[in-house]
């Protein structure tokens, strides 16, 4: 399906700037100072109306003693939702997904805890995954008035990878969560699936995925299921999953394959495909139709 006009113009302009050597390729972005990468935000004019919700920034400990930032959104209820931002494992922080977490908190009366996990390449696998797990344990131990039996872990893009990998890790340890929220997730860091290799559309390309995976893995085996959840031999016993895929996204087929494999393993899956969206559409909602539909579908999934 055709992209909305403004989304198409923005995507074409980005692709053209990269071809001309003046656009922000992943390699150029990763070369930026860490503080600049952490502060990367979508332009405010592309966010639309941002939900109002009480927030609090807290520094929490990690297993190696280095504190990280989490942002707490108090949506008025007891549903706990741990959220990991996207950005190719190398970009972003709590600010980059702030508008999304606000909407999730308000729509679901949730206590959302967004994690500024440490970024690659300075902190490669498994540090970001460990940071998200440490934030989960902090969330459950903190006095946030949540129901731990309803714990949801979620994320977009690279954050979707971390959420899916953490769901696997927790299942393997006998402590599965209640649900997974995976928004256009990166699920196979071998970046060798037919859908990824054949994608010729707008937005992220194979080279971008390969760069992100290389910086994150730093030589670690890409077939490790905690790096590539799609490659796990056994997906049974995992938490029910909501998976969002987009029609103009190099990752769409991997998301579909994961939904299929989860269902084959007996896991309940809600798969929403937005044919006229690009990767990371929720980050720039003013460019797309159907954003409210996505959040409504998420709320219906989390309410069951």
Q: For 163-217, give the DSSP string.
A: HHHHHHHHHHTT---SEEEEES----TT--SHHHHH--SSS--HHHHHHHHHHHH
Q: Report the domain count for the chain.
A: 1
- Judge whether 12 lies within some domain: no
- Judge whether 96 lies within some domain: yes
> For residue 9, what pLDDT is reported?
61
- Judge whether 117 lies within some domain: yes
> For residue 233, what pLDDT is reported?
98
- Judge whether 35 lies within some domain: no
Retrieve residue 279's tokens.
């990767």
- Judge whether 4 lies within some domain: no
Q: In Å, what is the CA distance from 211 to each residue of 39, 121, 191?
A: 20, 10, 10
Q: Do 162 and 109 touch, CB atoms closer than 8 A?
A: no
Beta-bridge mates of residue 211: none
Beta-bridge mates of residue 74: 111
- The ranges of the chain with pLDDT < 50 are 16, 20
Closest CA to 264 of 240, 233, 236, 223: 236
- Judge whether 5 lies within some domain: no
Rg (CA), the chain: 18
How far is Cα 18 from Cα 31, in angstroms, rounded to an integer? 16
> For residue 19, what pLDDT is reported?
57
> For residue 20, what pLDDT is reported?
45
User: From start to end of 76-142, where are the E strands?
Assistant: 79-84, 110-116
- Judge whether 214 lies within some domain: yes
Whether the model pTM is above 0.75: yes
Catalytic residues: 157, 249, 279
Which structural domain, as residue segments, surrounds residue 271? 25-30+40-302
> For residue 268, what pLDDT is reported?
98
DSSP 8-state assignment for residue 4: P
The CATH number assigned to the domain holding 104 equals 3.40.50.1820
- Judge whether 135 lies within some domain: yes
How far is Cα 262 from Cα 153, in angstroms, rounded to an integer? 16
Bridge-based pairing state of the strands 152-156 and 241-248: unpaired
């Amino acid at each position: 399906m055709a992209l909305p006009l403004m989304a198409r113009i923005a995507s074409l302009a980005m692709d053209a700037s990269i071809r001309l050597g003046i656009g922000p390729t992943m390699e150029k972005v990763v070369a930026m100072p860490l503080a600049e990468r952490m502060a990367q935000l979508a332009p405010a004019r592309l966010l639309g109306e941002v939900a109002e919700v009480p927030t609090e920034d807290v520094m929490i400990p990690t297993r190696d003693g280095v504190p990280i930032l989490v942002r707490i959104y108090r949506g008025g209820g007891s549903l706990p939702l741990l959220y990991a931002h996207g950005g190719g494992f190398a970009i972003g922080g709590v600010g980059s997904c702030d508008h999304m977490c606000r909407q999730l908190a308000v729509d679901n009366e949730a206590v959302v805890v967004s994690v500024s996990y440490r970024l690659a390449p300075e902190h490669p696998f498994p540090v970001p995954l460990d940071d998200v797990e440490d934030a989960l344990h902090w969330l459950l131990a903190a006095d946030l008035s949540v129901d731990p039996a309803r714990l949801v872990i979620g994320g977009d893009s690279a954050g979707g990878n971390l959420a899916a990998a953490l769901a696997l890790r927790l299942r393997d340890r006998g402590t599965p969560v209640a649900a997974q929220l995976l928004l256009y997730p990166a699920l196979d860091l071998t970046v060798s699936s037919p859908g990824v290799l054949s994608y010729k559309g707008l937005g992220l390309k194979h080279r971008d995925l390969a760069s992100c995976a290389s910086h994150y893995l730093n030589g670690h085996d890409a077939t490790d299921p905690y790096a590539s959840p799609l490659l796990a031999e056994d997906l049974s016993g995992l938490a029910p999953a909501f998976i969002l895929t987009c029609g103009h996204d190099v990752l769409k087929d991997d998301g579909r394959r994961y939904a299929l494999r989860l269902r084959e393993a007996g896991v309940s899956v809600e798969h929403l495909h937005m044919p006229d969206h690009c990767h990371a559409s929720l980050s720039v909602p003013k460019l797309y139709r159907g954003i409210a539909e996505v959040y409504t579908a998420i709320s219906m999934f989390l309410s069951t």
